Each structure stands twice: as structure tokens, then as C-alpha cells.
Amino acid sequence: MTKKTNTQKTKVKSSLKPTNGKSMIAKIKAGNKEFTKDELLHVLRMMLRTRTLDNKAMNLLRQGKTFFHIAASGHEAVQVAIGLSLNPNKDWLFPYYRDLGTVLTSGITPEEVFLQTFAKATDPASGGRQLPVHWGSKRINLPTQSSPTGTQFLQAVGTALASVKRGERNISYVSSGEGTTSQGEFHEAVNWASREKLPVLFVIQNNKYAISVPVSAQSGGKGHSIAEMMAGFGTLHRLKIDGTDFFESYEKIQEAIDYIKSGKGPALIEAEVVRLQSHSSSDDQKKYRDEKEIEEDMKKCPIEKFAKVLMTKGILTEEEYSEIKKEITDEINEASDRAFKAPDPKPEDATKFVYDESGFKESLEYEKNEPSGNKIVMVDAINHALHEEMERNPDMYIFGEDIEDGKGGVFTATKGLSTRFTRKRVFNSPLAEASIMGVAIGMAFTGLKPVVEIQFGDYIWPAFMQMKDELATIRYRSNNAWETPVVTRVAVGGYIHGGLYHSQNIESIFAHVPGIFIAYPSNAADAKGLLKTACRIKDPVLFCEHKGLYRQSFAMSPEPDEEYLIPFGKAKVAKEGSDVTVVSWGVSFWDAMIAAKKLEEENGYSVEVIDIRTIIPLDEDTIYNSVKKTNKVIIIHEDTFTAGFGAEIAARISDYCFRFLDAPVKRIAAKDAHIPYSPILENAVLPSRDEIYKGIKDLILY
């Protein structure tokens, strides 16, 4: 690790040419790069462009024309050095909100920045849907960025992994401030990248304050150093540099890139910078920072430091410096004026692009043939669907915990896949659900189709940040520029004596998250047809597989062929009837079917049973048409009674079918308790067949 001390000088080599009795420098060398005068002035302009844009944005906010800004002031030197060191058409960029200098140097224009500042419809990053300083561009490899700190690290690992899988070693650049290194996902990302020696360039821009919290309260590294904190990763090349010094920054970034491209592993640069403005426009650093400390930081301004070098070496005069400042100021003002006049978003577009609107999923051929193969259990139907889709799509990758042969997944759903398709395409992940999801998102950014497995629904919650704030929002927040159609398979449900942590249902929680489709099949044929559809469509899918149905004889069905697809949002009337409608899914669907047949045999009652098959989208028409026919409805599900998805269905029925109802809309669900291990206690919490039978009968007799 390289650590700059106070006594070290920046290594600047120059060639001198005497001109009219004055020393005149034509070039300055940093590492192996010899900068010409034009290149040096370009660097100066980029740093000034960044600072001037910051100042303009703050002035606009004070005028009431905008609402938010986060400044890069004090970070410009290392950011411009990064931008000059990467190829944004090949490398991937995951900058954080303070990375203005990086994105400008990489090709984002000041006008594009202001389009987001003013929340304009033509903002290429988000169409006015995101706060300013949330970068994104399809013109270069700059995926849509978001507000949660640290989520970008795992996504950068995903793009790097995709690059390696494709036989390339394009760099994935990812940055943050020092405060974000307290996030677990940062450490997970460094772990994955270091273990697989992936081409990831981690840059931590340490300005010593995470809003108001000093680095001494954040980092446990020696001397509160982030680079020191990561000393345990043997393949990680670590550097600590003066990020206010452009020449040192550029030289050390090249060193890091050379190391990455050698295949030895990733690199982490801790760039010590200064924060010359408050954390954001909503903050006032004078409330928690000492005035003398701020004054000392002002003396380390990277732009003034760089300009002073150029002047000392005879490359720049004070007059030229003033002219360049004026030139940049005029440029920024003109860019702001043009952006301000751009069209605003239309209110009717506010709900567009939550899901794919290209018409692709509607163009697929669904249910071409009736399932007619040999009878198959549900877990094998899922396995066969994965085999068929992997054969069909060479860009499909499967990973998760324990999914390789010879384990083949804890329920054998992935058996044979890594043997047939090799561990290049089917591989084990670390035991870290956020890692699984974040890396999958990154891979999907590159055009791959990740299908991942979370072993139990109970353990999906470490991935929830990546799913709710990232996966679900990417299409919407990028205004349809980016898509990440990750399929997440997850085993759910009780009745297997799994106790509190192997029995949860999760569909109602995820149903509240716009942007993710949710499938919940109850039989083998539906599981295969829905999973194959999930593997082909362009939206994220949460695919819930009930453990209690994996090998149940009543969930068996004839196997569909390899082209059998089931559309999302199409329920199935499994049993027709006229006295009452039962709406259900999962294991509860089968309990409802058993109760319906018993009521018919014993009492002659006619019960219509609907299997909704997908939670999102919900087939409301099939439900409403049935309710209009029977005039009574009961919803039965395994999740808790309070806020289970049945409550949503009941509310919609009340809204749209009230005048057709001859009885209250009823629900049967689990008690509002956790699911215990003891079979006696579990049976007391989860809906029982007797309870379901009695509930349907009571409603018929109402």
C-alpha cells in the first residue's frame, strides 16, 4: 500500500525549453503519462467546469428554481483523473452522488446535468423522476444510480463478473464516500471481487465527514483509514493517495488499473479529499465543523493547487487563468439557460414504465398445447424448466447458495444444471443474499439473464434493499432506459415443521413494491409454464415455490412441453360452481379444493375455486366475473390475516362487486403469529382443512 506523508512531493517530471530568457514547460509527466499543454488545460477546464456547475446549481436553488444539490467541490482532482483513465464505452461506471467531475469527464454534458437539476422530461438520466446528482446514461456504460448508499458496490461486481464470463476484463469503477464503507454491502462487494479477482476499481473519496459524522466514528481501520481496514484481502491492491493532487491521483489510478488488468485482483484507492461545501443543499456544516478546520480545507483546494503547478512551470498565466474561468462560467450559464427552457414532464406520464411496456410479453405464444407428458412433481417441473431455458438462452446464468452439483440446491431444484452447463453458467454464490441480488442486478445491466435462488423466503430480507430500492425501480427511475429482468426463485411456506425461520410467506410484502412481478404456482404444470415465462420476459420476477408442494402427489400434473408458457395475470378456474367463489393460491388452494369437493359430495353445494397463480399482476376480471355469478366470495391463504394479500383482494371486490354481493367478503388466513416448530402449535397457527371447510360452508349458509 502506498501512503503519502506530509514530507512527500508529487512526482512531476517536466521538460524545460528556454524561450526568450524564460523557462517554458511543454509537458508534465505523471507516471508513464506525459501531459501536453493542451491536455493540462483540458484538465483545468474539467475541474473548473465541475466547480462552476456546483456553484451555479446552488445559486439556482437559492433563487427557488431547483430543490436539491450535492456538491463535488474539493473532490475535482481525483474525479477528473478517474474520468480520464476509463473508457466509458467499455468500462462500467457506478459513481456516487458527489462524483460530478467523474461523470463530466466521462462524457455527461453540463446541459444534461442541468436537465436533471430542473427535473425536465428530456433529462437522459431519469426524465425528471430522480433527485439531481443521480447519474445515468445509455450513451455510455453508466447505469441509473440511486440514493441508498452502498448498493452500487455489488452491482459493479455484477458487471465485472459479466465481463469476465464473456472473456473480457473491462473495468467496473465504483465509488463512495468514506461513510458508506460502514455498509455491509461494501464489504460483501470487496469480498466477492477479491475472491474471484474481478476487474473492479473501488475508489473511496474520503473527505472525513459522512454528513456530520467524522471518519473517526466510522472506520475501524488503523488511523481510521479505509485502505487499512481492508488489509485482510490478499488479492486487493490498496492505495492511499492525496486526492486533491491531480498528478498523484492520475499516476496511482494508472497503477491500480495496471494491477486490475493483470488479472491479479481488484484495487481499492482511498483518496483523501476535502469537502469545501456542506454535505448537501439541505445541510449547514458550520453547525458541526470547526471554522478553522474549514479554513484549512479551503487551502487544499485541488483546482488552485493544480493551477499553481501550471503557473509555476510556466504553462499558465494569471490572465489566461481568468480567461478560462470566464469561458467556463459563460458555458455553464448557457447550458443552464438551455436546460431551463426544456419541456417539463407530463402528469399523465407519472406512472409509465413501472413495468415493460414494449409489448414483448404480450407477443409471446401462451398455452400452445395442453400439458400431456408423464406426471411430474413440482420440484422436477421447475428443474426441467431451468434446463430447457438454459439450453434456449446462452445469456442465462443461474446462481445462489448450494445450487451446484452434487447438492443441486437444498430441494434439488437445480440438480444437474452445473454439470450440464458448467460452473461458468451455474455456480454457487457466497452465503449473502444482498450479494446474490446486487450482483444479479449488475449482470442484468450488461444484458445477461440472471436467475437466482434464495434458499428460504425467511432469509430474503438482507436482499430486500437491493430488491425494493434497486431492482424494482430501475426501469422507472431511468425512464425506461435500463432494465434488469432478474428472476428470483425462493422457497416459501409452512406445513413442513420448519419453525419460525423456514416457514414464512412473503408475497404480501413484495406485492407492495411496484416493479416486480410475483408468481405463486400451486402445481407442476403451472410452475413450469410460469417459470419459463419469467425466464423470457423483460421484468423482474419473484417466483415463490411452496416447499410443501414440491413433492406432493396432489400437486403433480402431466408435464408440459418445452414451449409451454403461462401468461402472468391469468387466473385459473380450477373448479366451476354457482353457490360461492373461493379465491386462493399455494397450499391453501388445495385445501380449498378438498373442502369444495367434500361440500359437493356431502351437501350438494356448488363451489367455484379460483387459483390466481400470480399475485402481481392479479387477474381481477376472472375474480369479479365469478363473484357476479355466485354472489358470495371467500379468500383463503396461508399468510397472516392482517395485511395478507387476501385483504387487498377483498378490498377490490368490495369496490367493484359490492352490488352483486349477498354476504360479507370473508377471509381465512393464518393467525397473526409467528409459525412455531411444534406440529401441534403450527397447526394452531396455520389455516386447517377443517377451518376452511367450515368457513366455506358458513358463508354458503349466510
pLDDT in tens, 411-442: 999 999 999 999 999 999 999 999 999 999 99
Residue 315 lies in a domain: no
pLDDT value of residue 27? 82
Residue 306 lies in a domain: no
Cα–Cα distances in angstroms (integers) from residue 457 to residues 314, 461, 498, 542, 611, in the given order = 65, 8, 12, 11, 21
CB 365: neighbour CB atoms within 10 A?
8
Nearest to 155 by CA among 431, 487, 438, 434: 438
SS3 state at 421: helix
Cell of 529: 409454464
DSSP string over 237-261: EEEEEETT-HHHHHHHHHHHHHHHH
* Helix 110-117 / helix 318-340 crossing angle, nearest 10 deg: 50
pLDDT band at 112 (very low <50, low <70, confident <90, very high): very high
Give the pLDDT mean for 331-339: 98
- Residue 621's domain is classified under what CATH number? 3.40.50.920
pLDDT value of residue 220? 87
Same domain, 168 and 282: yes
Q: How far apart are CA 688 and CA 670, in angstroms?
A: 9
Q: Tell whether the torsion through CA atoms of 184, 187, 193 and 199 is positive or negative.
A: positive
Give the pLDDT mean for 131-152: 97
Same domain, 416 and 494: yes
Same domain, 603 and 536: no
Known active-site residue 502: yes
Cα–Cα distances in angstroms (integers) from residue 538 to residues 353, 385, 401, 454, in the given order = 12, 17, 24, 20
Same domain, 507 and 471: yes
Torsion of CA 581, 584, 588, 589, to 10 degrees: 80
Residue for cell digits 481488484? 266
Cell of 451: 436467475
pLDDT band at 221 (very low <50, low <70, confident <90, very high): confident
Phi and psi, residue 406, nearest 5°? -85, 5
Same domain, 140 and 192: yes
Residue 349 lies in a domain: no
Q: Which amino acid is at 472?
A: A
Which of 504, 533, 558 represents a domain boundary (last residue)?
558
Same domain, 176 and 201: yes
Among residues 384, 502, 546, 637, the one annotated as catalytic is 502
CB 373: neighbour CB atoms within 10 A?
16
Q: What is the pLDDT of residues 563-604, one digit of tens each?
A: 999 999 999 999 999 999 999 999 999 999 999 999 999 999
Residue 587 lies in a domain: yes
Paired strand residues for 137 = 142
CB 137: neighbour CB atoms within 10 A?
22
Nearest to 521 by CA among 481, 486, 564: 564
Does pLDDT of 2 surpass 60?
no
Question: What is the DSSP-derived secondary structure letter of residue 216?
Answer: G
| C-beta of residue 104 within 8 angstroms of C-beta of residue 47 | no
Return the HEC string of 319-362: HHHHHHHHHHHHHHHHHHHHHHCCCCCCHHHCCCCCCCCCCHHH
Give the pLDDT mean for 239-264: 98
Cell of 462: 438482507
Same domain, 54 and 197: yes
536-550: b or e for each residue (b if 16 or more CB lie within 10 Å)? bbebbbbbbbbbbbb
- On the CB side of 548, CA atoms within 13 Å amount to 20
Which residues have CB under 8 Å from 591's CB, separation 6+?
584, 636, 687, 688, 689, 692
| C-beta of residue 111 within 8 angstroms of C-beta of residue 48 | no
Cell of 6: 506530509
- Residue 250's domain is classified under what CATH number? 3.40.50.970
Cell of 454: 434464495
Same domain, 482 and 578: no
Does pLDDT of 457 surpass 50?
yes
Which of 343, 368, 399 represents a domain boundary (last residue)?
343
Same domain, 585 and 462: no
Does pLDDT of 15 surpass 60?
no
pLDDT value of residue 14? 37
Give the pLDDT mean for 181-190: 97
Residue 321 lies in a domain: no
Residue 313 lies in a domain: no
Same domain, 207 and 291: yes
**Residue 622, H or E segment:** helix 620-630
Cell of 512: 407492495
The total domain count for the chain is 3
567-597: b or e for each residue (b if 16 or more CB lie within 10 Å)? bbbbbbebbebebbbbbbbbbbbbbbbebbe
| C-beta of residue 483 within 8 angstroms of C-beta of residue 449 | no
pLDDT value of residue 18? 33
| C-beta of residue 503 within 8 angstroms of C-beta of residue 675 | yes
Which residues have CB under 8 Å from 641's CB, separation 6+?
667, 669, 670, 671, 672
pLDDT band at 5 (very low <50, low <70, confident <90, very high): very low
Same domain, 437 and 551: yes
Cell of 184: 455491509
| C-beta of residue 136 within 8 angstroms of C-beta of residue 57 | no
Residue 275 lies in a domain: yes
Q: How far apart are CA 203 and CA 190, in angstroms?
A: 12
Does pLDDT of 3 surpass 60?
no
Q: What is the pLDDT of residues 491-547, one digit of tens each?
A: 999 999 999 999 999 999 999 999 999 999 999 999 999 999 999 999 999 999 999
pLDDT band at 4 (very low <50, low <70, confident <90, very high): very low
Q: What is the pLDDT of residues 264-314, one digit of tens each?
A: 999 999 999 999 999 999 999 999 999 999 999 999 999 999 999 999 999
Which of 280, 308, 343 represents a domain boundary (last residue)?
343
Same domain, 551 and 667: no
Phi and psi, residue 214, nearest 5°? -70, 160
Q: How far apart are CA 365 and CA 619, in angstroms?
A: 18
Q: How far apart are CA 427 and CA 439, in angstroms?
A: 13
Does pLDDT of 23 surpass 90?
no
Residue for cell digits 359490492? 658
Does pLDDT of 26 surpass 90?
no
Q: How far apart are CA 195 and CA 582, in angstroms?
A: 51
CB 640: neighbour CB atoms within 10 A?
20
Q: Residues of the chain with pLDDT > 70: what percent? A: 96
DSSP string over 126-169: TTT-S-TT---BTTTTB----SSTTHHHHHHHHHHHHHHHTT--
Q: How far apart are CA 74 and CA 300, in angstroms?
A: 8
Paired strand residues for 142 = 137
Q: Which residue blocks in 351-506 are alpha helix, DSSP H?
A: 360-363, 378-392, 417-425, 433-445, 464-465, 474-477
**Residue 25, H or E segment:** strand 22-30
* Domain assignment of residue 104, given as a range: 46-298+328-343
Nearest to 159 by CA among 249, 266, 83: 266
Give the pLDDT mean for 605-619: 98
Give the pLDDT mean for 466-471: 98
Q: How far apart are CA 198 and CA 192, in angstroms?
A: 8
Residue 37 lies in a domain: no
pLDDT value of residue 12? 43
Give the pLDDT mean for 544-567: 98
Give the pLDDT mean for 556-568: 98
Phi and psi, residue 581, nearest 5°? -105, 130
